[in-house]
Structure 1
Amino acid sequence: MKKLSFVFFVLIGIEANAQKQDYPIQPVAFTNVKLTDHFWTSRIETNRTVTIPASFERCKTTGRVKNFEMAAEHKGKFCTVYPFDDTDIYKTIEGASYSLAVHPDEKLQTYLDSLITIIGNAQEPDGYLYTARSIDPLHPISAAGPERWINEQSSSHELYNCGHMFEAAAAHYMATGKRNFLNIALKNADLLVRTFGPDKKHVAPGHEIVEMGLVRLYRITGKRAYLDLAKFFIDERGKKQYNKKSKNVFENGVYWQDDKPVIEQDEAEGHAVRAMYLYSGMADVAALTGDKQYLAAIDKIWDNMVGKKMYVQGSIGAVGDGERFGDNYELPNTTAYNETCAAIGSVFWNQRMFLLHGDAKYIDVLEKTLYNGLISGVGLDGKSFFYTNAMQIQDNFNHPDIERERSGWFTCSCCPTNVARLIPSVPGYMYAQNGKDIYVNLFISGTANVTVNNSKVKITQQNNYPWNGDLAFTVAPSKAMDMNVRIRIPGWAQNEAIPSDLYRYQHQNNENVTIKINGEPVQYHMEKGYAVLAKKWKKNDRIEVNLPMEVRRVTANAKLPNDDNKVALQRGPMMYCAEWKDNFGKAANIIVPENTKFTTQYEGDLLNGVTVLKADVKSVVIDDSGQNIHTKNQTLTAIPYYAWANRGKGEMMVWFPQQVKYIDLLTSENTVK
């Protein structure tokens, strides 16, 4: 297999022109990082051996592959449901390409080539590629509209399909060196350049991602038209006439982030996945063009999301109607939506915000999302998934939008295939670089190879994170050199539950983070959430960092009434929940008084190995007659939130009342408050 330099954002390839302007901080490519830990290597290997093959198989059995075959022949009937079903193949190819980049597999590469041939055959002569129309151009499915692009803003997802194809083609090219998929993507991108622009067709893409995809192709080719088109699509938002007075998000344009120009937006709004892809695209274009108005807008939007619209375990998109953000502080637990794709989009956006600003608060949010609200979306078996990620499951309350158990596939299966492309790229979020500054963002055992001032530097991490806060780093430059190693000190280790006042710790921890170099304690200064260790580094210099990891009680802002008088449990980056399996068949009846003391225990045979929390608590009991209520002592066992629903169906709780204040007696729900 031909090896090319594969950088997570900056892809240097054919006809590449040196970018004069870009993110000031650059990520270290995941291909330059080799993991040795259990937590992430097991997930990446499961993704490679289970999730990706299962995804390809389901693309075949559900007709997604057949759609491309019929499109090549221009006959048949579109045999799936949604016009964006093409993207499930694209996203799985992207994930498979990331896997190939670090784990060569001739059989997989051959299969990808066969799929790419099928995709290429479906492409029309001018570059158009959209099976929902090409199968029967005279009678496309209703969502597609009678003509190309006519329904793009509302329902066709034509440009959304293009964006995912561009992302996949870029990944495949950089992983294999083959141009077969890249040529298809470039032909399609050139069609978009000929079709859309200031003096051509105008549209604000209905589901954003084409902007990110065009930037990927620009980085490979240096073709400015791709970057210009990405910016054009972003700037088209806010120009369509809507009913501005309507509170309906579909009627007023909020659902599509299209109610006002992007530079005037200051609130995370509308469909949460679309929003994350838009804000990521804005960050990309801002980095490459220096657009300060974009920067000002996404800074304000980020503050709004993290300060008023994020769940305690990092999920976003509270409202099921429209899969969207709600109003400020609208974060219900019993009906929380929290689409897995939105969590993935949040990781994309927060990484970009870090690359722009160099502030650890963005990685704090990324880590919270990654370890909690994102990986909760895939089962430990690698082939069962959550589309939504619940905050509360109780037997006497059953909301139709709340998933109580995982599914192998969905009619709209965007989340499983999005997981397939995210998991193998996790090592690319660990390190970043700006000149002689090396940022250590995530704590995962393994080795990374970076270049500083044209000299090689090897960094080795040794830890048992996220279960233990003792971190060790060995720095091995090829020759002694001055360098700044910037190690993120997580907000949770500095008494900050989240970089806003939305959540806080009930009690302050006075234990300091300690750092040693070659066994000697060192004084360090903090910059933007990083401990800056500046010295002339020599081969095998050793850094030791101790992050205190006691159990923390998290409370919510008073503006979140659903969490009033309740606590959530956190240890390190992990949020915890109680599940029926460990708590006498129930979880919604548990009370965690303020003076509760917790113990921790690592259980290697439970849920692929987890640290559990134990405590003596109270539980509410209703007698057999249904006439009497009392409390009793019981032992609480809490597991990491991401691991719930891997052992069957039952109750689950994240927020626990600290005391019984009153009981609601309802026909459908008895709620302890």
Structure 2
Amino acid sequence: MKKSLLSLVLFYAIPMYAQQADYPVRPVDFTAVKLADHFWLPRIQVNHTVTIPASFARCESTGRVKNFDMAAAKEGKFCTTFPFDDTDIYKTIEGASYSMAVTPDKKLDKYVDSLITIVGKAQEPDGYLYTARTIDPAHPHAWSGPERWVKEHDGSHELYNSGHMFEAASAHFLATGKRNFLDIALKNADLLVATFGPGKMGVAPGHEVVEMGLVRLYRITGKKEYLSLARFFIDERGKRKYSAKSKSPWENGKYWQDQVPVVQASEAVGHAVRAMYLYAAMADIAALDGDTAYLHAIDRIWDNMTGKKIYVQGGIGAIPDGERFGENYELPNATAYNETCAAIGNAFWNQRMFQLHGDAKYVDMLEKILYNGLISGVGLDGKSFFYTNAMQVRKGCTHHSLEAARSGWFECSCCPTNMARFLPSLPGYMYAQKGKSVYVNLFISSTASLQVEKQKVQIVQSNNYPWNGDLSFAIQPEKTADFELRIRIPGWAQGKAIPGRLYAFRDSVASPVVIKVNGTPVQYVTEQGYAVIKRTWKKKDVVEVQLPMQVKEVIADNRLTDDIGRIAIQRGPLIYCAEWKDNEGRTSNLFLPAGFKPEMKPELLNGVMVLKGTGKRVDVNEQQQEIRTTAAEVTLIPYYAWANRGEGEMNVWFPQQVKDIDLLTK
């Protein structure tokens, strides 16, 4: 493209950064990191060649594009189901923009411009852009209300649509240098500034994301009004009157994160995706405005989520009714919801928490989400998806009968388009900098080009992660350079299953992590989860890290009643599961082996490390009415890879022993 994303960010943000604070730790831009691995790079390539084109095709075939055409013509009838269907186009444009920034594609670029033209024609003269009303203002969508914004808190999603448009337009501008989409977004943002704020209209947006989008526009333009409006929307929360005695999250305000002012919040509540976008925006404003009240609030909320409201594979939002967080320790397996969008939002939030604090525990959580409950949301074919991510699928259990099969699209298709926009940006999560400190957060074979105190430095990662824990980093400064390399030592390599105390390894003893520089073991200090290596670096310096990759049994806090007496299995960053295909058609009748043998299977599921061992199987002879336990080979696969070979049982948690049985009559 015309300029790298990094150079554009620096060019257009000079006035703002000269005046404002920001995150203490800054990520290295994704365009500066070139992947060369066999795990993530193929997924990003499939996203470019399959997921994004399929998403655009489905936006056309389902009528999402037609809605914009009709809005431009001011005639017709809104032809999809939800007023937020506009955002599927925006999010796919965002993903395409990120993808084109590293993989130029003239055909895709031309198609995206054609869509932007359609979007621009649907925009009203004052900047309003919302097809569910513009097509036929006298008969808007049932969720939209008779006038603009009057149902925004409850369900219109007018500001939600704007937020995703701002995110997409920012990405497109920074990737291509073109203003065609950005100008549409700025016109809409200026309308919001004119409409909302002190002395104007006030509302707590029903589905957060406009706050994140306004911050993105502020970073590009330096226009303070955008940042102020983002804060205004956040500070409007907690002002509505609800029934304090009601346990209904809709009636007590928790569903919308509206039960108290945000600075008083201490618990992750309500719709999980909305919550993640809110907490991410609060982190942005805490960094840009130096707001310690926001900072303390999101610190408390993060502690609550990680200590009481997250599944072992990083999924959040346990309750199907409202796609929301449950009460503390309410994490049922049979009905687990775990929306894919919530995992993506959680990745956004944890990245920001790391940038605020420089602590590896946030990257540990990010890694847990990435390698498990996030990529489980997209099939290996790149065009089949999970909206929810189950923890178990069992014969005779009706709740997850549909979740055992992936879908090409959903009536509410927020998750596939969210995945399309997230994956291309992944390299931007790998490295970060603070002065002379370089943080190595994710382990992916790649070449990164950095500027450390105006000195050019390349870091070449070589590894076979997540299957192997041997990591190599070739440090290649343009000339001799003094700086501090901070390599994350994952919590799982230090005997910790996950940040927080909700899950633990049964055997928490950790093998030492050996680090060598140019072949010689070195003593290192650990600060905030990072091995700190300070030295004068020269060309051809090589750092080697050996992370122990034992198979670990995970146990849960006893307050998680579904997991009492059960174990899950983790190796490195990966949670494993048993799937029907490898275990004679059943998984809910298995007892795990005392030990597992890892075995690489290049031909299976695009290449996975499976775990095998001899455990036990409980069989029922229906004719003889006999129950027997027999030895059986048990095979586990990485959780992210399940449901790519058809429908059937799947389990993450397994009983340690039988104490009683339930007799079923059907």
**TM-score, normalised relative to structure 1:** 0.98
What letter matches 2:654 in structure 1? F
Q: Which residue of 1 aligns with 2:535?
A: 535
Give the distance between the partners of 1:187 and 1:554, measured in 2 at CA: 52
What letter matches 1:457 in structure 2? V
Q: Are residue 270 (structure 1) and residue 261 (structure 2) matched?
A: no
Counterpart secondary structure, 1:17 = helix
Can you list the C-alpha shifts for 1:57-90, whole angstroms capped at 9, x where unaligned? 0000000000000000111000000000000000
Question: What is the CA distance between 1:247 and its match in structure 2?
Answer: 0.3
Counterpart secondary structure, 2:330 = coil
Counterpart secondary structure, 1:76 = coil
Match of 2:612 among 611, 614, 618: 614
Counterpart secondary structure, 1:178 = coil
- Alignment of structure 1 residues 634-645 onto 2, 5 Å: 634-645=632-643
Give the distance between the partners of 1:647 and 1:166, measured in 2 at CA: 38
Q: Which residue of 2 aligns with 1:44?
A: 44
Q: Which residue of 1 aligns with 2:116?
A: 116
Q: In the alignment, is the contact (CA less than 8 A) between 1:12 and 1:219 conserved in 2?
A: no
Question: What is the CA distance between 1:499 and its match in structure 2?
Answer: 1.6
- Alignment of structure 1 residues 489-568 onto 2, 5 Å: 489-568=489-568
What letter matches 1:453 in structure 2? E
What letter matches 2:340 in structure 1? T
Can you list the C-alpha shifts for 1:167-216, whole angstroms capped at 9, x where unaligned? 00000000100000000000000000000001100000000000000000
- Alignment of structure 1 residues 164-179 onto 2, 5 Å: 164-179=164-179
Question: What is the CA distance between 1:646 and its match in structure 2?
Answer: 0.1
Q: In the alignment, is the contact (CA less than 8 A) between 1:337 and 1:401 conserved in 2?
A: no
What letter matches 2:630 in structure 1? K
Counterpart secondary structure, 1:250 = coil
Give the distance between the partners of 1:30 and 1:367, measured in 2 at CA: 17
Q: In the alignment, is the contact (CA less than 8 A) between 2:577 and 2:638 conserved in 1?
A: yes
Counterpart secondary structure, 1:664 = coil
Q: Which residue of 1 aligns with 2:12?
A: 13
Give the distance between the partners of 1:103 and 1:626, measured in 2 at CA: 63
Give the distance between the partners of 1:510 and 1:487, measured in 2 at CA: 18
Q: Are residue 244 (structure 1) and residue 244 (structure 2) matched?
A: yes
Give the distance between the partners of 1:252 and 1:70, measured in 2 at CA: 39
Give runs of ≥4 in structure 1 deviating > 6 Å.
none
Can you list the C-alpha shifts for 1:250-273, whole angstroms capped at 9, x where unaligned? 011100000100000000000000
Q: In the alignment, is the contact (CA less than 8 A) between 1:4 and 1:177 conserved in 2?
A: no
Q: Are residue 572 (structure 1) and residue 572 (structure 2) matched?
A: yes
The gaps in structure 2 that reach 5 residues or longer are: none
Q: In the alignment, is the contact (CA less than 8 A) between 2:6 and 2:31 conserved in 1?
A: yes
Counterpart secondary structure, 1:6 = helix
Question: What is the CA distance between 1:482 and its match in structure 2?
Answer: 1.0
What letter matches 1:163 in structure 2? G
Counterpart secondary structure, 2:118 = helix
Q: Are residue 420 (structure 1) and residue 412 (structure 2) matched?
A: no
Give the distance between the partners of 1:180 and 1:506, measured in 2 at CA: 56
Q: Which residue of 2 aligns with 1:218?
A: 218
Question: What is the CA distance between 1:11 and its match in structure 2?
Answer: 6.4
Q: Which residue of 2 aligns with 1:605?
A: 603
Question: What is the CA distance between 1:5 and its match in structure 2?
Answer: 3.6
Aligned residues: 665
Q: Tell me whether 625-634 or 342-351 shows the greater mean CA deviation.
A: 625-634
Give the distance between the partners of 1:446 and 1:434, measured in 2 at CA: 21
What letter matches 1:529 in structure 2? G
What letter matches 2:354 in structure 1? F
Give the distance between the partners of 2:16 and 2:262, measured in 1 at CA: 29
Give the distance between the partners of 2:335 and 2:307, measured in 1 at CA: 20
Give the distance between the partners of 2:501 and 2:375, measured in 1 at CA: 25
Match of 2:660 among 630, 652, 662: 662
Give the distance between the partners of 1:12 and 1:27, measured in 2 at CA: 17
Counterpart secondary structure, 1:241 = coil
Counterpart secondary structure, 2:16 = coil
Question: What is the CA distance between 1:624 and its match in structure 2?
Answer: 3.1
Q: In the alignment, is the contact (CA less than 8 A) between 1:166 and 1:213 conserved in 2?
A: yes
C-alpha distance 662-258 of structure 1, shift in aligned 2 (>3 A): same
Q: Which residue of 1 aligns with 2:77?
A: 77
Q: In the alignment, is the contact (CA less than 8 A) between 1:130 and 1:158 conserved in 2?
A: yes
Q: In the alignment, is the contact (CA less than 8 A) between 2:390 and 2:400 conserved in 1?
A: no
Give the distance between the partners of 1:54 and 1:617, measured in 2 at CA: 42
- Using the aligned pairs only, state the percent identity: 66
Can you list the C-alpha shifts for 1:599-635, whole angstroms capped at 9, x where unaligned? 0000000000000000110111001326211100000
Question: What is the CA distance between 1:241 and its match in structure 2?
Answer: 1.1
What letter matches 1:441 in structure 2? N
- Alignment of structure 1 residues 199-210 onto 2, 5 Å: 199-210=199-210
Give the distance between the partners of 2:629 and 2:221, measured in 1 at CA: 67
Question: What is the CA distance between 1:16 and its match in structure 2?
Answer: 4.3
Q: Which residue of 2 aligns with 1:337?
A: 337
Q: Which residue of 1 aligns with 2:589?
A: 589
Q: Which residue of 2 aligns with 1:163?
A: 163
Give the distance between the partners of 1:37 and 1:16, measured in 2 at CA: 38
C-alpha distance 347-510 of structure 1, shift in aligned 2 (>3 A): closer
Give the distance between the partners of 1:12 and 1:31, measured in 2 at CA: 15
Q: In the alignment, is the contact (CA less than 8 A) between 2:13 and 2:219 conserved in 1?
A: no
Q: Are residue 233 (structure 1) and residue 223 (structure 2) matched?
A: no
Question: What is the CA distance between 1:667 and its match in structure 2?
Answer: 4.3
Give the distance between the partners of 1:59 and 1:528, measured in 2 at CA: 44
Question: What is the CA distance between 1:556 and its match in structure 2?
Answer: 0.3
Question: What is the CA distance between 1:20 and its match in structure 2?
Answer: 2.5
C-alpha distance 518-162 of structure 1, shift in aligned 2 (>3 A): same
Question: What is the CA distance between 1:13 and its match in structure 2?
Answer: 2.1
Question: Over aligned residue pairs, what C-alpha RMSD do you find?
Answer: 1.2
Q: In the alignment, is the contact (CA less than 8 A) between 1:390 and 1:402 conserved in 2?
A: no
The gaps in structure 1 that reach 5 residues or longer are: 669-673
Give the distance between the partners of 1:522 and 1:483, measured in 2 at CA: 16
What letter matches 2:357 in structure 1? H
Give the distance between the partners of 1:137 and 1:20, measured in 2 at CA: 41
Match of 2:650 among 652, 656, 663: 652
Give the distance between the partners of 1:121 and 1:462, measured in 2 at CA: 48
Can you list the C-alpha shifts for 1:203-245, whole angstroms capped at 9, x where unaligned? 0000000000000000000000000000000000000111111
Counterpart secondary structure, 2:277 = helix
C-alpha distance 262-401 of structure 1, shift in aligned 2 (>3 A): farther
Counterpart secondary structure, 1:142 = coil
Counterpart secondary structure, 1:266 = coil
Q: Which residue of 2 aligns with 1:447?
A: 447
Can you list the C-alpha shifts for 1:500-550, whole angstroms capped at 9, x where unaligned? 110000113342100000000000000000000001111121000000001
Counterpart secondary structure, 1:127 = coil
Q: Which residue of 2 aligns with 1:671?
A: none
Counterpart secondary structure, 2:658 = coil
**TM-score, normalised relative to structure 2:** 0.99
What letter matches 1:656 in structure 2? F
Q: Which residue of 1 aligns with 2:298?
A: 298
Give the distance between the partners of 2:402 and 2:308, measured in 1 at CA: 22
Give the distance between the partners of 1:415 and 1:21, measured in 2 at CA: 33
C-alpha distance 362-401 of structure 1, shift in aligned 2 (>3 A): farther
Q: In the alignment, is the contact (CA less than 8 A) between 2:450 and 2:458 conserved in 1?
A: yes
Q: Tell me whether 503-512 or 236-245 shows the greater mean CA deviation.
A: 503-512
